[in-house]
């Protein structure tokens, strides 16, 4: 019953009850209950006894010209697409709007990446399809930003927007939260929801209809990302991989996830979960740059991905309908949990310089200042 999930339901006016009824009917309460019990009440921990370094190659070991030629040929044949994760806001930067709209010397993060796609199009004489995952909080703003900037010179029909999916936030007692608009509170279901969102939005079918076989994925906030890096693309295609990842050597104590083999399967392990005292022994930091085959994307979309718990201060209405900001439960999927289903995978370890400079904070580490410095050093602005 809805009152088991929303105790304050009976205190609401009939119009709000009807609205909640409609929202409640769309929820899979069996799944929500199972996630609450398995992730919050009875969490299972990964067995780290068999964790091993993931095999990797360095650029110097590869035949760069040959691999880049493979990449350019695949691009020219329309087989390569770009998948951008851009669902975040610029809140921590004190920037109003989607993070991708943050600008350095008049050039937004979106524009910096669009310019790279434009350069490839000019080289291979074929447009690259660009799939961009937004979120409910920034979808409309993102679309308007692209329209206002004339899609940065790219053809609008080659840019495809779709939204990240959601999962209900819960109280520590396992009840649904309602926000101050008296709606059931839904929060983004994490970057691991990208596979299901691609399928349910029709984007995966769109890729297949266009003959796309290889997809490059990256985050919007790596300001120096080499979009569709031909070396990575060529390596992925030549080896017929399902997943090919870029990594960097982490700094001592750097709290970045590590690409590892867990029980022989490729994964990413958070720094805090690594065996005590062994954190710096694993030399492949995950920087969120991966190549996927479309066959793997289909497989990942159908896999039941595990949820992970995030404790967050959430503004909601308590049992007496007072608006409070208290710690609640958010549940998120991580894309790398799908890696273990990849039959073939590789890792390319690259230098940090010119490859990875995340924009996370207004000041300090991974900040506006460090991003601006790296953009300037690379001649990108």
Instruction: Please give the average per-residue pLDDT across 217-230, as a whole number.
Output: 98
350 alpha-carbon distance from chain centroid: 20
Residue 108 located in a structural domain:
yes
Sequence-separated (6 or more) residues with CB below 8 Å from residue 324: 315, 316, 317, 318
Residue 89 located in a structural domain:
yes
Residue 66 located in a structural domain:
yes
Q: What is the pLDDT of residue 287?
A: 96
Instruction: Please give the average per-residue pLDDT across 331-353, as a whole number.
Output: 95
Residue 272 located in a structural domain:
yes
pLDDT at 253 over 90: no
Count of domains observed in the chain = 1
Quote the domain boundaries for residue 252.
Answer: 7-353+360-378
Residue 1 located in a structural domain:
no
**Best CA proximity match to 137, nearest among 84, 88, 195, 67:** 88
Instruction: Please give the average per-residue pLDDT across 220-248, as a whole number.
Output: 98
Give φ, ψ of 362 to 5 degrees: -70, -40
Cα–Cα distance, 215 to 197 (Å, whole number): 15
Give the torsion sign (CA, 274, 314, 169, 172).
positive
Residue 130 located in a structural domain:
yes
pLDDT at 179 over 90: yes
Stronger pLDDT, 55 or 270, i.e. the higher one: 55
pLDDT band at 274 (very low <50, low <70, confident <90, very high): confident
**Best CA proximity match to 130, nearest among 139, 140, 121:** 121
Per DSSP, the chain holds a count of helices (H) and strands (E) of 11, 16
Q: What mean pLDDT, rounded, does the chain reach? A: 95
pLDDT in tens, 59-76: 999 999 999 999 999 999
> What percent of the chain shows pLDDT beyond 70?
100
Instruction: Please give the average per-residue pLDDT across 90-100, as a whole number.
Output: 94
**Best CA proximity match to 333, nearest among 297, 309, 300:** 309
pLDDT band at 271 (very low <50, low <70, confident <90, very high): confident
352 close to 338: Cβ distance less than 8 angstroms: no
Instruction: Please give the average per-residue pLDDT across 149-177, as a whole number.
Output: 97
Stronger pLDDT, 177 or 43, i.e. the higher one: 177
pLDDT at 256 over 90: no
Coil vs helix vs strand at 358: strand
pLDDT band at 47 (very low <50, low <70, confident <90, very high): confident
Coil vs helix vs strand at 332: strand
Residue 155's CATH number: 3.90.550.10
Cα–Cα distance, 262 to 289 (Å, whole number): 20
Residue 2 located in a structural domain:
no
Q: What is the pLDDT of residue 29?
A: 96
Residue 171 located in a structural domain:
yes
Q: Count Cβ atoms within 10 A of the Cβ of residue 379 and give its class: 0-12 exposed, 13-18 middle, 19 or more buried.
A: exposed
Sequence-separated (6 or more) residues with CB below 8 Å from residue 309: 39, 40, 43, 329, 330, 331
pLDDT at 273 over 80: no
């Amino acid at each position: 019953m809805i009152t088991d999930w929303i105790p304050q339901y009976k205190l609401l006016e009939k119009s709000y009850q009807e609205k909640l009824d409609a929202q409640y009917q769309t929820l899979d309460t069996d799944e929500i209950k199972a996630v609450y019990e398995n992730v919050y009440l009875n969490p299972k921990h990964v067995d780290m006894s068999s964790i091993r370094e993931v095999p990797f190659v360095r650029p110097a070991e590869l035949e760069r010209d040959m691999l880049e030629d493979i990449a350019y040929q695949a691009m020219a044949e329309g087989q390569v697409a770009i998948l951008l994760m851009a669902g975040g806001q610029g809140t921590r930067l004190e920037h109003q709007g989607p993070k991708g709209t943050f600008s350095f010397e008049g050039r937004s993060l979106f524009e910096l990446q669009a310019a790279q796609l434009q350069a490839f199009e000019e080289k291979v004489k074929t447009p690259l399809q660009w799939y961009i995952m937004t979120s409910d909080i920034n979808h409309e703003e993102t679309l308007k930003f692209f329209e206002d900037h004339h899609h940065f010179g790219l053809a609008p029909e080659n840019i495809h927007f779709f939204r990240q999916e959601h999962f209900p936030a819960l109280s520590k007692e396992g009840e649904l939260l309602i926000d101050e608009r008296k709606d059931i509170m839904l929060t983004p279901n994490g970057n691991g929801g990208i596979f299901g969102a691609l399928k349910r939005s029709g984007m995966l079918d769109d890729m297949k209809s266009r003959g796309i076989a290889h997809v490059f994925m990256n985050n919007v906030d790596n300001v120096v990302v080499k979009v569709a890096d031909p070396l990575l693309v060529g390596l992925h295609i030549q080896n017929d991989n399902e997943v090919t990842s870029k990594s960097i050597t982490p700094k001592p104590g750097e709290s970045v996830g590590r690409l590892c083999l867990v029980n022989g399967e490729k994964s990413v392990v958070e720094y805090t979960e690594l065996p005590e005292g062994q954190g710096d022994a694993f030399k492949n930091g995950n920087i969120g740059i991966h190549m996927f085959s479309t066959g793997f994307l289909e497989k990942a979309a159908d896999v039941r991905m595990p949820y992970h718990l995030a404790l967050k201060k959430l503004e909601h209405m308590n049992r007496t309908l007072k608006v409070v900001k208290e710690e609640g439960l958010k549940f998120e999927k991580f894309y790398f949990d799908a890696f273990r289903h990849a039959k073939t995978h590789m890792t390319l370890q690259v230098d940090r310089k010119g490859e990875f400079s995340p924009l996370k904070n207004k000041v300090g580490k991974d900040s506006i200042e460090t991003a601006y410095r790296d953009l300037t050093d690379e001649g990108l602005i």
